[in-house]
Amino acid sequence: MHLVISGLLIAGLQQGEGVEDLLKAAEAALKAKQLDKALPLAVKAVKLEPRSAAAVQLRGVIHFKLGHISESIGDFDKAIELDPRRKAGHWQRGISYYYAGRFDEGRRQFEGYQSVDANDVENAVWRYLCMARKDGVTKARAGMLKIGKDPRVPMKEIYQLFLGRVKPADVLAAAKAGDGAPDERKERLFYAHLYIGLYFETEGDTKKALEHITIAADDFPIGHYMWDVAHVHRDLLRKQQTK
């Protein structure tokens, strides 16, 4: 069940509102998946304090989740300008670059992220995706980033999938194997279907790509930014198929 933003909170913002109050309200709306409420709150926060990197970053996140890719990049760029410490770790900007078709910039963003976390399979995969779209699968596979130990299941198998060493069925089998709390198993299956879908897309099978990404988006809500990525990608694939 979605959270509901308190009417008293929204009403209270109309008088004596401050940036922190606006950001809290925007974050509450975002958590409740009420993007139509979150965006104007974030916009107002940026107007009140245009040099707040946190406000600009939050507005960029909301823009991305609404499918406003270029706007999200503009905000992410501005947030980095205001706070350069964000640059290396800004994987969200790398993902937005990917959807904007700015593949070289996306690749460089993910390469920079290695200095933050060299054990993140997802970082290597998104760099691969940028390279595959720009230079082809063969070159992307040959240049796959070397990743340390990512303990999340089934990240090891996802990494091997993009290297061409295992099949999608192996990723799903790893996600389903063993015990685990319901939320943990939900996350495993979400990531398995998301990355299998992205894999099929790079292999030219858009039908299977849409099938798996739709399963990730619709059947396994994990409340993480990557779940919103799945929704954005699903909607883009649907639009492509209806053209």
Q: What is the pLDDT of residues 192-241, one digit of tens each?
A: 999 999 999 999 999 999 999 999 999 999 989 999 999 999 999 999 88
**DSSP codes of every residue in 82-132:** H-GGGSTT-HHHHHHHHHTT-HHHHHHHHHHHTTT-TT-HHHHHHHHHHHH
In contact, 127 and 107? CB cutoff 8 Å: yes
In contact, 74 and 60? CB cutoff 8 Å: yes
Query: Could you tell me the pLDDT band of residue 59, with boundaries at 50, 70 and 90?
Result: very high
What pLDDT shows up at residue 241? 86
Instruction: Say yes or no to pLDDT of 14 above 60.
Output: no
Judged by DSSP in three states, 56 sits in: helix
d(CA 210, CA 186): 19
What pLDDT shows up at residue 243? 72
Arithmetic mean of pLDDT, 137-166: 98
d(CA 173, CA 34): 35
What pLDDT shows up at residue 15? 42
Burial 77-99 (b: 16+ CB within 10 A, else e): bbbbebeeebbbebbbbbbbbbb
Task: Count CB-CB contacts under 10 A for residue 105.
Answer: 17
What pLDDT shows up at residue 2? 33
What pLDDT shows up at residue 179? 86
1-5, 34-38, 119-123, 183-187: segment of lowest average pLDDT:
1-5
Instruction: Say yes or no to pLDDT of 7 above 70.
Output: no
Q: Look at residues 162, 155, 107, 114 and name the one whose alpha carbon lies nearest to residue 134.
A: 107
Q: Which residues contact 243 (CB under 8 A, 6 or more apart)?
A: none
Query: Could you tell me the pLDDT band of residue 3, with boundaries at 50, 70 and 90?
Result: very low
What pLDDT shows up at residue 98? 98
Query: Could you tell me the pLDDT band of residue 139, with boundaries at 50, 70 and 90?
Result: very high
What is the tens place of the pLDDT at every residue in 152-196? 999 999 999 999 999 999 999 999 998 889 999 999 999 999 999
Q: Rounded mean pLDDT of the chain?
A: 93
In contact, 173 and 210? CB cutoff 8 Å: no
What pLDDT shows up at residue 8? 32
Q: How many CA atoms lie within 13 A of 166 on its CB side?
A: 16
What pLDDT shows up at residue 180? 87
d(CA 66, CA 38): 11
Verdict on whether the full-model pTM lies above 0.85: yes
Token reading at 80:
């980095």
Angle at 55 between CA 49 and CA 58, to 5 degrees: 160
